[in-house]
Amino acid sequence: MLLAACVIGVARPVVAQEGDPERGASLAVTCMGCHGIAGYRNAYPSFRVPKLGGQKPEYIVSALKAYRDGTREHPTMQAQGLSLTDQDIADIAAWVATYGTSRDEVDASAIAGLEAAQVCITCHSPAGANMTPVPPVLSGQHRDYLEHALNRYREGGRGTTVMNAFASALSDEDIRRLAEFWSSRQGLFTLRDGAQTEAP
């Protein structure tokens, strides 16, 4: 059923609003106060803020719009989102894209022994390259952030129908193992002053 939901979620790509990366760099100064510090932690609940370097620009756009529209919960990010126009969001995403885009190069052999990841690779792999909305890159993301996100999906407090349905069937152990798997892979990185940095 979940696989069918993923397939139904595939649609013709939406034409993205063109962004100005130079203007985006200026707007992103505020973002860098958290996302530009390797290992920086959200105060409560405590988890490391997500890495943005290498993330898909289309996903940055959808995430920021969800915060702005209140469909994705996080007080700080919702407050930031409320100040952003569609053009601001496109510009920030264009700036993030100047660092390049990572990919989840994962296939069935890479997830041998991790049954819960079978569904993940339907979207978070080359097979999901043309999906709309665009799924985020997971490889290299902080383990504790991934655990937090999966728990929020499981609780219904963060929402896409597909992810809520998937996460609702996960045990605590599944979430721990999935977060450990994706965080152990090469991919995303922390941005800082034009350089890649990693948390200790």
For 146-198, the pLDDT digits (tens) are 999 999 999 987 867 889 999 999 999 999 999 999 999 999 999 975 545 44
Identify the pLDDT of residue 193.
Answer: 54
* pTM of the model as a whole: 0.85
Residue 145 included in any domain: yes
Q: What is the pLDDT of residues 12-25, one digit of tens each?
A: 344 458 999 999 99
Count Cα neighbours of 170 within 13 Å in the Cβ-side half-sphere.
29
What's the domain count of the chain? Answer: 1
Domain span holding position 91: 23-194
Whole-Å CA distances, 23 to 29, 109, 118, 170: 11, 42, 40, 41
Position 133 in a domain: yes
Distances (CA, A) of 92 to 21, 23, 185: 7, 8, 26
Residue 107 placed within a domain: yes
In a domain, 166, yes or no: yes
Q: Is residue 165 part of a domain?
A: yes
**How confident is the model over 83-102, as pLDDT tens digits?**
999 999 999 999 999 999 99
For residue 171, what are the β-bridge partners? Answer: none
pLDDT at 16: 59
Q: What is the pLDDT of residue 82?
A: 96
Burial of residue 79 (CB within 10 Å: 0-12, 13-18, 19+) is exposed
pLDDT confidence of residue 160: 74
What is the per-residue pLDDT for 184? 96
Residue with tokens 């798997």: 181
The CB density around residue 33, as the number of other CB atoms within 10 Å, is: 12
Residues 6+ apart with CB under 8 A from 45: 148
Query: So what's the pLDDT on residue 132?
Result: 87
What Rg value do the Cα atoms of the chain yield, rounded? Answer: 16
pLDDT in tens, 22-78: 999 999 999 999 999 999 999 878 899 999 999 999 999 999 999 999 988 899 999
In this structure, what CATH number is given to the domain that contains residue 158? 1.10.760.10
Q: Is residue 8 part of a domain?
A: no
